[in-house]
Chain A
Amino acid sequence: MDIYFYANTYFIKLVIATMVVFLGSEFMAIFPVFTNFKKHKETVERHIVPIWEITGTTIVVFVVELELIYSSLTPIASYLFIPLVGTFILLLVLRNVWIIYAEFIWKNKHNRVINSENFYKGYLIATFIMVILFLTAIVTLMYGKGIHLNLTDLSASYISYIPMLSTYNYWLFLLGTLFVAYGLSAVFYRTMKIESFVPLTTVIIGLILSVSGLYGVAIADKVPSGDIYLLIIPLILTLIIPVLYMNKRTTNIASYKPIFFILMVFAVFIIEAPVTYIAGGAFPISNFASANSMQAFNLYLSILGGIIFLGFMIMYAYVYANNPEKFGMEKPLKKETVTK
């Protein structure tokens, strides 16, 4: 394989990291919305409403990019993960429908069932399950537990989820991720006072759990042990956020969305970077690569498209920041407005 393929493998990992962080930022909204909707509605809406369409688009980018770089992997993955993919798509539809309903609901604003609050909650539950499914699929694909893959006869291939679900590494990773998400959510959506130790504590607990789980998965997937120590970088990057939040002078920086996004994209990217095998180390991912000419084409188009994307995102950020009253850096929470 040539340089184009290697460059593309890192590019798709960047795409995945972007998608995960966009989706994750919505996923985290479940905590403030379910604890006190009325209080946090505006803060959550301010972030989610202009972002959910872009999140959906990053999912599409990921699917197409995967097919372009690993053309023989996508049909296999679609086939193996039919129940997960099917549920994911269904939830994507529901998510889009519910957020649109929540946003533009036209009547019955005080109806006990059909109202904006319930649609937001429905949308967040759908997003929450989507993230869980995505994490499950990724861990399954890496860990290989329960995967029965027959490359010559796809119809004989299937996944049994029981071995996977009975693995403690999976649960450690999942539980850890939830803890991290809870802690970061408090910072991202500013739902806790800055003196609170809850965000930092939950992030630390979450990191201990998820890194332990991830370590087991990485070992099973033949990630070189030298590369596993790279996990220290995302660990530090994640910890920085609640630490900055606790300091009055840096609170604004911690929950400033662009900085949060950049730090987290980099953190997720570092986690993915050393992965070169799938199905518990059974198959090098390069086995599924597309032709060299396609790889070269993909790289050049990615650069071109990336520049266009960046240009439009700069425009977006400029317009976003153009109304300080609505979309600028938020003021820190006062003590009396703190969620109990």
Chain B
Amino acid sequence: MVSYQVWNASIFAYTISSHILIVTLTLGLSLLILISEFIALRYKNKYYEALAHKMSIALVINFAFGTASGVFMAVELFLFWPEFMRVVGDVAMGTFYAEVFAFLVESISLVTYVYFWDNFRNRWHHWLVSIGILLGTGASAALIVNVNAWMNTPTGSFNIPHYLETGKIIDVNPLKVFWEPSTFAQQFHMYAAEYLAGSMMILVYLAYKYMKTRDIEAKKVYMAGISILSVISIIDIIITGIAGSNELTTLMAVEPLKYASLEQNMVPTNYGAPEHIFGLIINGKEAYYINLPLAQSLLAYPLTLGHGAIPGLSSYPASSWSPSVSHDFLDLMVGAGVLIGLFWLYVVIQYFRKKNPMNDKKTLWATIVFGIIAVLTMEDGWWTAEVGRAPYVIRSPVPGGIIVNGVKYYGVMDISQATSYSPYVWTIGIAVIIFYLIIEPLMFYYMAKVLNIPDINSELNKADSEVNEKKVTGIKAGMR
């Protein structure tokens, strides 16, 4: 029999994993539109103009599904995690509220951008609206990640010893949730990974369409998108590597227990910690791993040639360890990230050899494969972060655990305390599964349909007149 905790946690993991696909695509599209329209106006290029317009419609569709999914998820939070949401409501709701205003900026900018495309006499003003979309979407993502950072390192937002003793919340500082010790590292990693995955997700579609279409003009539109997204991906994979490394270094300092779990370090060391690739913990011992001697210490302390403290699980009770699969998630994420990096390195080398790699069919197929891998890696990254926090929902504010009345707590709230024991969760959970199983394929299918360019010539004529300021009238705003 599945317990309430396992059921609720699984359903919510499923929900976030599904919702995050929409978020990732939104971030990728908002950046693509901004750059594409900029190039279109700057160089009077009709292909980039047509691309920006098509992608903005995709963004509206994404927005429609995303809003519904977001509201669905918010309600699910209340129904599945009532005690957690009580604490969030009292302590950390400010960042959710700020997110609402970011969301408003996003929605008003998007509506203005798409539906009133033809209403701008100065097209650069129209382009400025795309900055509103980018800022709105970016700020929304960041403000939600704030809550996650607070869950990992809740320092100073309320009187935690008092809460652990009495269950009551006092001394609330609503501003603290905006900046916790883990916030910067999480934000940095999130932005880098999300824009990478979002860009590569769109690349999958564009690369496929580019190979499929026989129309030369349509190919040029798709290639415009491929060019922008390839450059973003190449820059972003480097930033993601740096952000990931920074995230692990931060974890080591502010969340040593999580770090030890993710790295599967059984004992703390000061020198010579190996890197264990994959593996499991069975009866308190590691098994089925590949050993790379010294690697972890060298990666963590390259300047001291591996001399420095590395946390280990033996410093903490086994009940506070996260499931060992979180370590496998981490290795999978790092491994896939390295592969994606190698792919883009190959593209760059080919480019400098003047091979025009993104015109090559094999490279385009590889782009599709690595695009899918990038999205899965982004999902895997979230599983790493979330499973790595288990069994806690809100961790201890002190890295090594907090002592209250002689008892040491490694977390402020664990899953069993946060979860709902209402019998409704079973039926709602099934509804959630069905909801996303229907809604997401439908969204992608519909988007693909709308993004088709059946009449490329009229699309490009309109784009041409837009960028060259020869306005065509009689076409419905936003729906040419």
A residues bordering B, Cβ < 8 Å? 49-51, 53-54, 56-57, 59-61, 63-65, 67-68, 71-72, 74-75, 78-79, 82, 85-86, 89, 92-93, 96-97, 99-101, 103-104, 106-107, 154-155, 290-291, 293-294, 296-298, 301, 304-305, 308-309, 312-313, 315-316, 319-320, 322-323, 326-327
Contacts and interface: CB of A to CB of B under 8 A. Distances in A.
B279 interface: no
Given A74-B89, A101-B446, A327-B119, A92 B71 contact: yes
Given A89-B75, A97-B442, A301 B94 contact: yes
Closest 10 CB pairs of A and B: A71-B89, A305-B101, A297-B174, A78-B78, A93-B68, A96-B64, A322-B119, A312-B108, A50-B115, A68-B93
Contact of A297 (B78, B116, B175, B442): B175
Given A296-B174, A308-B104, 15 more contacts: A50-B115, A59-B71, A60-B74, A60-B103, A68-B97, A75-B82, A78-B79, A100-B60, A100-B64, A106-B449, A290-B90, A293-B173, A298-B174, A305-B97, A312-B108
Contacts of A51: 111
Nearest to A305: B101
Contact of B108 (A68, A305, A315): A315
A103 B58 CA distance: 12
A74 B74 CA distance: 11
Contacts of B74: 60, 63-64
B479 interface: yes
Interface string B59-74: 0110111011111101
Contacts of A305: 97-98, 100-101, 104
B94 A297 contact: yes
A123 to B, nearest CB: 11
Contact of B120 (A79, A155, A319): A319
Interface string B32-72: 00000000000000000000000001001101110111111
A96 B67 contact: yes
B93 A294 contact: yes
Nearest to A45: B476
A103 B410 CA distance: 52
Interface in B286-313: none
Contacts, number: 196
> How many of chain B's residues touch chain A, expressed as a range?
35 or more
B119 A54 contact: no
Contacts of A49: 115, 478
A56 B479 contact: no
B120 A57 contact: no
Contact of A75 (B85, B100, B105, B169): B85
Nearest to B435: A93
A57 B93 contact: no
A63 B71 contact: yes
B414 interface: no
B172 interface: yes
A85 B101 CA distance: 23
Contacts of A89: 68, 71-72, 75
Contacts of A304: 101
Contact of A54 (B64, B78, B108, B479): B108
22 contacts: A49-B115, A56-B68, A60-B70, A63-B71, A63-B75, A64-B74, A68-B89, A79-B79, A86-B428, A89-B72, A99-B64, A155-B421, A290-B90, A293-B174, A294-B90, A294-B94, A298-B174, A309-B104, A312-B105, A313-B108, A320-B119, A323-B118
A48 to B, nearest CB: 11
A85 B71 CA distance: 11
Interface of B: 57, 60-61, 63-65, 67-72, 74-75, 78-79, 82, 85-86, 88-91, 93-94, 96-101, 103-105, 107-112, 115-116, 118-121, 129, 132, 169-170, 172-175, 421-422, 424, 428, 431, 435, 439, 442, 446, 449-450, 452, 454, 477-479
A96 B63 CA distance: 9
A57 B119 contact: no
Contacts of B112: 315-316, 319
A72 B86 contact: yes
B71 A103 contact: no
A53 B468 CA distance: 31
A64 B97 contact: yes
A294 B172 contact: yes
B452 to A, nearest CB: 7
A74 B85 contact: yes
A40 to B, nearest CB: 16
A51 to B, nearest CB: 8
A111 to B, nearest CB: 14
Nearest to B106: A57
A297 B97 CA distance: 10
Contacts of B446: 100-101
A15 to B, nearest CB: 10
Contacts of B111: 50-51, 53-54, 316
A82 B79 contact: yes
